[in-house]
Amino acid sequence: MSFWTNMKRVARYGVAGFVRNGFVSLAAVLIMSITLFVIAGLMLAGAALQSTLTDLTNKVDVTVYFLTSAEEEKIMDTKRALEALPEVALVTYVSREQALSDFRERHKNDQPILSALDELGENPLGASLEIRAKETSQYGSIAAYLDSQQQSGTETGKTIDRINYYQNKTAIERLGSIIDTSRTLGYTIAAVLALASVLIAFNTIRLAIYTARDEIGVMNIVGAGRWYVRGPFMIAGVLYGVVSAIIVLLLLYPVTIWIGPGSERFLGSFNVFTYFTDMFPLFFLVITGAGILLGAVSSYLAVRRYLRS
Amino acid sequence: MIHFDKVTKIYYDGAPPAVEDVTLSVDPGEFVSVVGHSGAGKTTLLKMLFAEVLPTEGSVYFGSREIPKLSSRELLLLRRNIGTVFQDFRLIPTKNVYENIAFALEVAGKSDEDIQADVPHVLELVGLADKIWSFPHELSGGEQQRIAIARAIVNQPEVLIADEPTGNLDPINAHDVVEILKKINDLGTTVLLTTHNKGIVDAIGRRVVTMDQGRVVRDEKKGKYVI
């Protein structure tokens, strides 16, 4: 008998089993939907956490303020030296003119300050370099480098007015440890929740197959091969997964639309709905793939228990 | 054809043997009734034929094949050559009558055309051609047992094992089932039947093997139910 005839029969019985055991299938699909929903929720929460942490990390920087008398050429020397450091991700130069216009912009509603500035006649602000490190923990060593330049009294070192790291040191360090803890905690919670929901789904499928144990016994006795017995249950398991994945993907639309604006208000730049729609292919692959894998593997393991030699 | 050679079965250490030192041969085409009290070892003995139970000592042969030594692949082929009927029918509840019977043919690798021809044919033999699309829960006990017999014989096995097939049936249905078994035997299939029912054994009037406490205590060519 051909392989395809066998496959066709196994598939037909798998679909028939799914439809005819309606109530058991419904229960399995519902439980599996909850599992997949938890997985989707963890993906969204993980992305939200990541985006928030990245935002926070980007807000941290060290700024070197130069004396108003510093020549642009010297400042550029410092900039190049900083860029050569392995810890440094980005160095942005803010010229004296830029600093002044930023200042005016920031205080545009504060007339007394603006008139005081006009009174002064010349630009009192020095140029600066905004330095962004690759990791929050690296700001200390960057600041130490700049400090040593300043202390050693080199040509470039003399032009440095002050480094703001030491004013923000405690805040930067605390923020760094909060970010690290949040990340570890987030991953741990995600792993525990995912594991728990996978186990619940696995158990539900095991119960569904438990109701068919006599059927499996009969198949054994009429001389059905292992894959011939297992096949239809695995097909039904895959169907549980596919149907649950479709339900979850459809439900995620209204749910993310609903919490989208709230998430943006709460988390800053992260909108759950925008993320979901942008990353839909990823969600489709992960949710459908997880459903199919969970259904097939659970069924395989559950049937194995009742298969005899 | 079938030979039990000094077979003993002890289910667990310390338990009394379910079957003890049984030596028994069955020729092709025989109709053998195995009788005895509950727990006499009838079912254990028959289960050894399709390796659902393996002997603790001794061995069981089907033709030249030694059943406990068969590989799992050979065992599948053997099971397709032995039809089995049980007291509790054991039909698959999610499949209709056609599919229940077709399943045994599919497992044996028959083509769709053969299956479509064989299923109605065997249903006619058991007198249930009109129930082909019913599900097991829509049938009476007697009808379910006849479907189980149809499934057991559709592959034209050499041996049909019927373990208390009339245990759950009223006398009329029991009589019908035994008539079907006799008809199958007349067509050349060896039949092994276990039963408690004295009336049935006496009516069949063929070989009777009587068991008591795991041992064969009587074996008569044209026997009666005597305990």
Query: Residue A155 — very low, low, confident or very high, per pLDDT cuts 50/70/90?
Result: low
Q: Is the pLDDT of residue B57 over 90?
A: yes
As a residue count, chain A comes to: 309
Q: Give the amino acid at B21.
A: D
Tokens of A218: 């009969």
Q: Is the pLDDT of residue A125 over 90?
A: no
**Which pLDDT does position A282 carry in this prediction?**
92
Q: Which chain A positions have a beta carbon within 8 Å of B92's beta carbon?
A: 215, 218-219
Q: Distance (Å, rounded) from C-alpha A302 to C-alpha A307?
A: 9
What letter does residue B15 receive in the DSSP assignment? Answer: S
Q: Give the amino acid at A165.
A: Y
What letter does residue B219 receive in the DSSP assignment? Answer: E
User: What is the C-alpha end-to-end distance of chain B, expressed in Å?
Assistant: 28
Chain B contact for A225 (CB, 8 A cutoff): yes
For residues A234-238, give the mean pLDDT: 92
- Find which of A18, A211, A222 to mutate to test the B interface (most B CBs within 10 Å of its CB): A222
Considering only CB atoms, B106 lies closest to which of A9, A212, A217, namely: A9
Q: What ipTM score was computed for the predicted complex, to two decimals?
A: 0.78
**Which pLDDT does position A1 carry in this prediction?**
57
Backbone φ and ψ of B201, nearest 5°: -60, -45
Contact A215 B108 (CB under 8 A): no
Q: Is the pLDDT of residue B2 over 90?
A: yes
Q: Which of A205-209, B22-26, B212-216 comes out lowest in average pLDDT?
A: A205-209
Contact A224 B72 (CB under 8 A): no
Q: Which chain B positions have a beta carbon within 8 Å of A222's beta carbon?
A: 79-80, 84, 103-104, 107, 151
User: Residue B154's closest chain A neighbor by CA?
Assistant: A222
**Which pLDDT does position A167 carry in this prediction?**
64
Looking at the complex, report in whole angstroms how far the Cα of residue A296 sits from the nearest Cα belonging to chain B. Answer: 20
Looking at the complex, report in whole angstroms how far the Cα of residue A234 sits from the nearest Cα belonging to chain B. Answer: 16
Q: Which chain B positions have a beta carbon within 8 Å of A228's beta carbon?
A: 106-107
Which of B60, B56, B80 has its CA nearest to residue B69?
A: B60
Q: Distance (Å, rounded) from C-alpha A208 to C-alpha A202?
A: 10
- Find which of A221, A228, A235, A306 to mutate to test the B interface (most B CBs within 10 Å of its CB): A221
What letter does residue B61 receive in the DSSP assignment? Answer: E
Chain B contact for A86 (CB, 8 A cutoff): no
Chain A contact for B77 (CB, 8 A cutoff): yes
Contact B95 A225 (CB under 8 A): no
User: Residue B107's closest chain A neighbor by CA?
Assistant: A224
Cβ(A205)–Cβ(A244) under 8 Å? no
Q: Please provide the average confidence, as pLDDT, over all residues in chain A.
A: 82
Position with higher pLDDT, A229 vs A307: A229
Considering only CB atoms, A221 lies closest to which of B79, B109, B112, namely: B79
A33-80 residue pLDDT tens: 998 988 888 888 888 887 877 777 777 777 888 877 777 777 787 788
3-class DSSP state for residue B205?
A: coil
Cross-sheet strand order for the sheet of A62-66? A88-94, A128-133, A62-66, A160-163
Beta-carbon-side half-sphere exposure of residue A197 (alpha carbons within 13 Å): 20
Q: pTM value?
A: 0.72
